[in-house]
Structure 1
Amino acid sequence: MSQAQLDTMPVTRAHAKILGTSGLGWAMDAMDVGLMSFIMAALVAHWGITPTQSSWLGSIGFVGMAIGASLGGLLADKFGRRNIFALTLLVYGVATGASAASTSLGMLIALRFVVGLGLGAELPVASTYVSEFAPRQVRGRMVVLLEAFWAVGWILAAVIGTFVVGQSEQGWRWALLIGCAPAAYAFVVRLGLPESVRYLRAKGHHEQADEVIAKIRSSKVLFRPVEREASGAEDIQANSIFAPVLRRRTIALWTVWLCINFAYYGAFLWIPSLLHADGYTLVKSFGFTLIMTIAQLPGYALAALLIERWGRRPTLATMLIGSALSAVAFALASTDWQVVVAGCCLSMMNLGAWGALYAIGPELYPTNLRATGTGQAAAFGRLASIVAPLAVPLIPRGALFFVFSAAFIIAATASFLLPEQRGRMVA
């Protein structure tokens, strides 16, 4: 069977299973990351840790994520998307559970680094995996829907933060115990999902690839995407993401990743603590954050709608510009309703941008470099997520969200240097 059949086949129940199973793993990743914003605020209140110590607690996980993203992509191109996906869930699930038993800040920081290794590796591997299975006409939409599970996980984190972390002095420990669920889920991924067809073919396992395609084709058809003229596949032969033919897109992609990580994690990891510092109670600041988090869902829905109509690049740029304007509105907000509305707009536009970004990445590189390219971009971006929690206490409160707005503008500018890949994937 031809690999091109993957691009033209209808969406089947098998596709839905791949998306849903991968998405649940993605949601667990988001839940773990999101919980830290609440745990940081709780430990400031209950352990009396300083803003600097809180910054390190927030940043150390991103150090692990930067390393994990880089290694995860390389390992996925070598050993397979599914296997590494399952391994990442196991690593961060076990480490999160162990974090609940931390007896000191140093122990918690060390375990958060290990958690970060698994978290960082999972995201680029999962997006590559789903992108390689998705039919051409809905590929971008499917990856945005995968990224939408991030909102589900972050909402779960906000619920757990509000009703578990915020209710008792030991609530953060119970939250981390809940966060060890991915360790068990790793076995569902390993046993329940097929290996990527494109990966199998790239490694010469053609019979296995044909078996996977046959199972997908025999699965119940859910719907047939509306056909439009294909943009044509790029046939790029390269052994490095910095080969001349790929260099421009790599630099532009890395720039977007760097800026969006800085602004997103600088804002959303600190919003509960910033609100608490502004005089809101811990419970009220957590409640506001929960409302802002729910606003992520319409952001993903809008991105999913636009990405196949407008294209990848216009959708990403629009969402980034909207994020910049929302950050300015948040900086100027002075009343409760203004804070909530501006925060909701920032959350909606920012997460829509994330959805478009994850859709773009896997389509930029050939199969032999696809996971590596997305993983290295994510790893470079994580450098900003390391710096952001450390930088926030050093930036004057009045200027903070203007800085985030500038980062979004730089990312939007860089997005125009990316090629438009709607309807095609590099062979």
Structure 2
Amino acid sequence: MELQATKPVNPVEDAKWSPFHLKLTIYSSGGPFLDGYILSIVAVALTQLTPQLHLDAVWSGLIGASALIGIFIGGLLGYVTDRFGRQLMYTIDFILLIVASILQFFVHAAWELFVLRVVLGIAVGADYPIATSLLTEFAPRKHRGLMLGMTVIAWYVGATVAYLVGQWLLPIGPDAWRYMLASSAVPGIALVILRLGTPESPRWLLQQGRAREALKVLREIYGPGASLRHIAVPDEKRARTSYLTLFNRTYWKRTLYVSGFFTAAVAPLFAMLTFGPTLLDDYHVLSGSSGYGSAIISALFIAGCVPALWLLNRLGRRATMIASFAVMTVGMLLLGLFPKGPLWVIGLGFLLYALFSGGPNIMEWLAPNELFPTEVRGTAVGVTTCISRLGAVAGTYLLPWALARYGVGPTMLVGALVTFGGFLICVFLAPETRGLTLNAASVGEDAEAERVPGSPERRIRVGR
């Protein structure tokens, strides 16, 4: 046992952190970075374009939610990446994003901006299953949480940068919003160039029967000791690339769990980030400089992800998720019960919600990539993302209407109720996958034999 704990038995799953893993993590984080940027830059832009394009509450909500609608559509392309490969779509989707970003500069009507931002959302939504599946299938088990977690941190970095860029561009003049919206093309171009030459997933190649190509990639990345048996899944445990697989007897609870907590986490979150400046004005916090205030809130979300990366590996996925949703609910309750202050209570509410959202935020992409096999991994990421974005669209579209009709307090109480729903879903459905190889977590191999030394001994299961 001592020899087994010190000497890697699987050169793929027990591989050391390498420059390749670092580069792939950075490149794969590009989609989440741009998602955070695109969804957040519009929050500052709306302060200018609302009077210029004569937006009422309906159009304001539609434009705020437009990228989320696109992400819902783009997420359905996860099936495409399972059928035709991760690498092919890895770059194509960003080309679409660059073109749509630039065209936003030239819009003159609300519907034009709405259509372009739906297209942007499609590109970003397609990248979720593409990039996270590729990253997961190269990630060693000890570093899987870290690598997927970095993509989530990239989302909040993108959001923070967007708020700062928006605030800095405001002095340009009344057309500054055009530069804000078109600016997402800059990181998009950089990421297309960086992603060139990224190898295809050997797990996907093997699943397609392209064993020789899979072995070549494995040995280029992990050395001559790597072989196909280190990633192979027994034929009787394989799933077909089909949407129906996500709802069969084996996977339906996992699909319900991921899409449920995902929705409960992002519905209030995206609404808060998209209309961050409006919310801060309603709370009378940093009025006139709410772009900076939103950047501070977004930075708190980044801060929350850092300890969550450690907790997910130390305490486990399940315990971290339950505790996180419990504290997030308390934070939302404070914002709902004390809409007029005092200021320290409002600050505490934002602080609790932001800092403890790290666990659910990381698990949004870690969970579907761990819980579903290679054949449907991209499909699972895409479908659960789509379902979650229905909630996010509803929250983002309804927020300005709810603020105008009911005020900030009751609106935040609804957010607390949604967050509490996420807590209940985790209590009854959250599995534990800490320390498992990717095959053991997703296909159900013998977890006792596959766990990394020092991790919990119980087998993966849904609920208690």
- What one-letter code is carried by the residue in structure 2 that aligns with 1:100? F
Q: Call closer, same or farther: CA 1:67–1:24 in 2, change over 3 Å.
A: closer
Q: Does 1:15 align with 2:21?
A: yes
- Residue by residue over 1:84-125, the C-alpha shift from the partner in whole angstroms, topping out at 9 and shown as x without a partner, is 222222212211111111111111111111111111111232
Aligned to 1:224: none
1:342 pairs, out of 342, 345, 349, with 349
* Aligned-partner Cα distance in 2 for 1:311–1:281: 38
Q: Call closer, same or farther: CA 1:350–1:123 in 2, change over 3 Å.
A: same
Q: Does 1:423 align with 2:435?
A: yes
Is the contact made by 1:29 and 1:119 (CA closer than 8 Å) also made in structure 2? yes
Aligned to 2:251: 246
Alpha-carbon shift at residue 288 of structure 1 (Å): 1.2
* Aligned-partner Cα distance in 2 for 1:294–1:187: 26
Q: Call closer, same or farther: CA 1:322–1:281 in 2, change over 3 Å.
A: closer
Q: Which moved more, 1:186-195 or 1:234-243?
A: 234-243
Q: Call closer, same or farther: CA 1:166–1:349 in 2, change over 3 Å.
A: farther
Q: Provide the secondary structure at the position in 1 that maps to 2:281.
A: helix
Alpha-carbon shift at residue 278 of structure 1 (Å): 5.3
- What one-letter code is carried by the residue in structure 2 that aligns with 1:238? A
Aligned to 2:289: 284
TM-score between both structures, scaled by the size of structure 2: 0.83
Q: Does 1:27 align with 2:33?
A: yes
Larger C-alpha radius of gyration, 1 or 2? Answer: 2
Q: Does 1:161 align with 2:162?
A: no
State the structure with bigger RCO (CA 8 A, min sep 6), 1 or 2: 1
Q: Call closer, same or farther: CA 1:107–1:372 in 2, change over 3 Å.
A: same
Q: Does 1:357 align with 2:364?
A: yes
Q: Which moved more, 1:148-157 or 1:347-356?
A: 347-356
- What one-letter code is carried by the residue in structure 2 that aligns with 1:35? I
Aligned to 2:263: 258
1:145 pairs, out of 150, 158, 168, with 150
- What one-letter code is carried by the residue in structure 2 that aligns with 1:422? R
Is the contact made by 2:238 and 2:375 (CA closer than 8 Å) also made in structure 1? no
Is the contact made by 1:166 and 1:283 (CA closer than 8 Å) also made in structure 2? no
Q: Which moved more, 1:151-160 or 1:324-333?
A: 324-333
Q: Which moved more, 1:209-218 or 1:381-390?
A: 209-218
- What one-letter code is carried by the residue in structure 2 that aligns with 1:59? A
Is the contact made by 1:303 and 1:356 (CA closer than 8 Å) also made in structure 2? no
2:419 pairs, out of 408, 417, 420, with 408
Aligned to 2:184: 179
Alpha-carbon shift at residue 352 of structure 1 (Å): 3.8
- Residue by residue over 1:166-196, the C-alpha shift from the partner in whole angstroms, topping out at 9 and shown as x without a partner, is 6531111111221112542353354231111
* Aligned-partner Cα distance in 2 for 1:278–1:41: 17
Is the contact made by 1:12 and 1:216 (CA closer than 8 Å) also made in structure 2? no
- What one-letter code is carried by the residue in structure 2 that aligns with 1:146? T
Q: Provide the secondary structure at the position in 1 that maps to 2:12.
A: helix
Is the contact made by 1:90 and 1:182 (CA closer than 8 Å) also made in structure 2? no
* Aligned-partner Cα distance in 2 for 1:364–1:264: 24
* Aligned-partner Cα distance in 2 for 1:318–1:166: 43
Q: Which moved more, 1:257-266 or 1:294-303?
A: 257-266
- Counterparts in 2 of 1:112-127, with a 5 A limit? 112-127=117-132
Aligned to 2:383: 376
Alpha-carbon shift at residue 309 of structure 1 (Å): 0.8
Alpha-carbon shift at residue 283 of structure 1 (Å): 3.4
Q: Call closer, same or farther: CA 1:235–1:418 in 2, change over 3 Å.
A: farther
- What one-letter code is carried by the residue in structure 1 that aligns with 2:396? P
TM-score between both structures, scaled by the size of structure 1: 0.90
Aligned to 1:38: 44
Q: Provide the secondary structure at the position in 1 that maps to 2:430.
A: coil
Q: Call closer, same or farther: CA 1:33–1:86 in 2, change over 3 Å.
A: same
Is the contact made by 1:6 and 1:135 (CA closer than 8 Å) also made in structure 2? yes
- What one-letter code is carried by the residue in structure 2 that aligns with 1:264? L
Q: Does 1:324 align with 2:329?
A: yes
- Counterparts in 2 of 1:220-231, with a 5 A limit? none
* Aligned-partner Cα distance in 1 for 2:318–2:365: 12
Q: Does 1:308 align with 2:320?
A: no
Q: Call closer, same or farther: CA 1:374–1:235 in 2, change over 3 Å.
A: farther
CA RMSD of aligned residues (A): 2.5
Q: Call closer, same or farther: CA 1:312–1:97 in 2, change over 3 Å.
A: same
Aligned to 2:11: 5
Task: Give me the identity figure in percent.
Answer: 23
Q: Call closer, same or farther: CA 1:210–1:237 in 2, change over 3 Å.
A: closer
Alpha-carbon shift at residue 325 of structure 1 (Å): 1.4
Unpaired segments ≥5 residues, structure 2:
1-8, 225-232, 444-464
* Aligned-partner Cα distance in 2 for 1:162–1:335: 27
Q: Call closer, same or farther: CA 1:275–1:346 in 2, change over 3 Å.
A: same
- Residue by residue over 1:357-415, the C-alpha shift from the partner in whole angstroms, topping out at 9 and shown as x without a partner, is 22111111111011101110001111111111222134322211111111111112212
Q: Call closer, same or farther: CA 1:96–1:67 in 2, change over 3 Å.
A: same
- Counterparts in 2 of 1:386-401, with a 5 A limit? 386-395=393-402, 396-397=406-407, 398-401=409-412
Is the contact made by 2:76 and 2:382 (CA closer than 8 Å) also made in structure 1? yes
Is the contact made by 2:81 and 2:130 (CA closer than 8 Å) also made in structure 1? yes
- What one-letter code is carried by the residue in structure 2 that aligns with 1:34? S
Aligned length: 413
* Aligned-partner Cα distance in 1 for 2:333–2:145: 29
Alpha-carbon shift at residue 280 of structure 1 (Å): 6.1
- Residue by residue over 1:128-161, the C-alpha shift from the partner in whole angstroms, topping out at 9 and shown as x without a partner, is 2211111012212221122111121111111112
Q: Call closer, same or farther: CA 1:249–1:7 in 2, change over 3 Å.
A: same
Q: Which moved more, 1:240-249 or 1:167-176?
A: 167-176
Alpha-carbon shift at residue 351 of structure 1 (Å): 4.0
* Aligned-partner Cα distance in 2 for 1:283–1:46: 19
Q: Call closer, same or farther: CA 1:172–1:255 in 2, change over 3 Å.
A: same
- What one-letter code is carried by the residue in structure 1 that aligns with 2:73? I
Q: Provide the secondary structure at the position in 2 that maps to 1:103.
A: coil
Aligned to 2:101: 96
Alpha-carbon shift at residue 28 of structure 1 (Å): 2.2
Q: Provide the secondary structure at the position in 2 that maps to 1:8.
A: coil
- Residue by residue over 1:46-71, the C-alpha shift from the partner in whole angstroms, topping out at 9 and shown as x without a partner, is 54422221101112221111010112
- What one-letter code is carried by the residue in structure 2 that aligns with 1:156? V
Q: Provide the secondary structure at the position in 2 that maps to 1:195.
A: coil
Q: Which moved more, 1:110-119 or 1:352-361?
A: 352-361
Q: Does 1:59 align with 2:65?
A: yes
Q: Which moved more, 1:303-312 or 1:82-91?
A: 82-91
